[in-house]
Amino acid sequence: MKLELHKVKVSKLAWGDKTAVRDGVLFVNKEELVSMLSEDERLAKVDVELAMPGESVRILPVKDVIEPRCKIEGKGGIFPGMVSDVETVGEGKTLVLEGAAVVTTGKIVRFQEGIIDMSGPGADYCPYSQTNNVVLLLDPVVDLEKHDHEAACRLAGLKTAAYLAECCRDCEPDRVDVYETLSFRESMHAYPDLPKVAYLYMLQSQGLLHDTWVYGVDAKKSLPTLISPTEVMDGAIVSGNCVSACDKNNTYVHLNNPIINSMYEHHGKDFNFVGCIITNENVTLADKKRSSSYSIKLASMMGLDGLLISEEGFGNPDADLIMNCWKAERAGMKTTLLTDEYAGQDGASQSLADSCPEGDACVTAGNANEVITLPPMEKVLGYPDEANIIAGGWDGSLASDGTITVELQAIIGSTCELGFTKLGAYTI
């Protein structure tokens, strides 16, 4: 499967009579966009705001972040099973508005949404402080069930991302990135002197609005399966999560998975990257056993030498991560784990809820319990009082002057377990 990403650079946002990109500026027709989104009868009120890097703007509570993309050549459409047909994607040409993002907001589960600061110390931890954000302010009709509210917000974000890109489909790209995955018959015989390595991609799917969608199917309803990395880039995986902001994998992250990008870069040099296995994260022990055993069975059938495993979330999913690890190691595959830590505000507590002797190669995305103070912003998009409820915050997190004191857990993407972060390090 060969996919070309035609990237149009967006460096600024502005309102305009026509949605289009000119000289790096994405102009947005607000009236047209609001009208389109207001067709959803589940939404009582729709508004759109713009937020750009460096501005004194705070956005909360944030539900999801999506990069605008659309298919310009090839099978299927972007976000299959959601806003386009369920035809398999991952081939042809896809337009990307690089540097732009759609941000959805809404009080859904409330404590499991997050914060984006476009400037200040919070921006140093949030990758979406560097994107030019089209912010959707979405209020539901009275007494709408939370599942329906989430679905309405999810669909609004995906429709907006597709709309913005479709309006710019005739733009000349500033850059074209090409990715290709060979068939198994070809890939298994390529680079015979290099180890065969795959990526085990864990998707949050614990229920209770902890959902991830694959071609429009809730991941918890499927056994682990194989997926082409280029399908992921074409929107086959969509976030439906209302989980802690710091390590939820937003749809933007799935589209730009840095693990997949890095494995492509090392393919044919350090190892033979033969593909991706997607698996779910479940609640019951029986389901965890089933999915981990099935994942490692697929990996064994591929004759892998190594497996890179990334987690989504923390606590209960730690058990899935560790189960995948020791089963792969005992099947003869070397593993590397990517996770984050909940080690307490002093960093002295146990970092993961589970562990095993085989898990001796682990990359951390940081301690989500570390406390940060966010200064007041001139403009707040959303509901500032949610800072007192959000996971990582507490009653009194929001001060009277607009200052917020929270753990990194409250900041979207701050400890992303795919490595899509602005993480730094310091010596103590």
What one-character-per-residue DSSP string does 149-182 give? HHHHHHHHHHHHHHHHHHTTTTSPPSEEEEEE--
Q: Is 335 exposed, middle or buried (0-12, 13-18, 19+ CB in 10 A)?
A: buried
User: How many angstroms separate the CA atoms of 423 and 246, rounded?
Assistant: 12
126 is catalytic: no
Q: What are phi and psi of 199, to 5 degrees?
A: -115, 120
User: How many angstroms separate the CA atoms of 410 and 60, rounded?
Assistant: 10
Amino acid in the structure at residue 60: L
Query: What's the count of helices (H) and strands (E) in the chain, helices before strands?
Result: 8, 24
Q: Are strands 43-51 and 25-28 parallel, antiparallel or unpaired?
A: unpaired
Q: Write out the two tokens for 266.
A: 């090392």
Instruction: Identify the DSSP state of 279.
Output: E
User: How many angstroms separate the CA atoms of 401 and 387, rounded?
Assistant: 13
Q: Write out the two tokens for 274.
A: 């033969």
Contact by Cβ (8 Å): 398, 390: no
The closest alpha carbon to 306, from 204, 194, 418, 179, belongs to 194
Q: Which of 126, 167, 242, 416 is catalytic?
A: 242
The closest alpha carbon to 220, from 280, 285, 277, 278, belongs to 280
Measure the N-to-C terminal CA separation of the chain; round to a whole number of Å: 47
Residues in the chain: 428
Q: Are strands 43-51 and 362-367 parallel, antiparallel or unpaired?
A: unpaired
Could you list the active site residues? 242
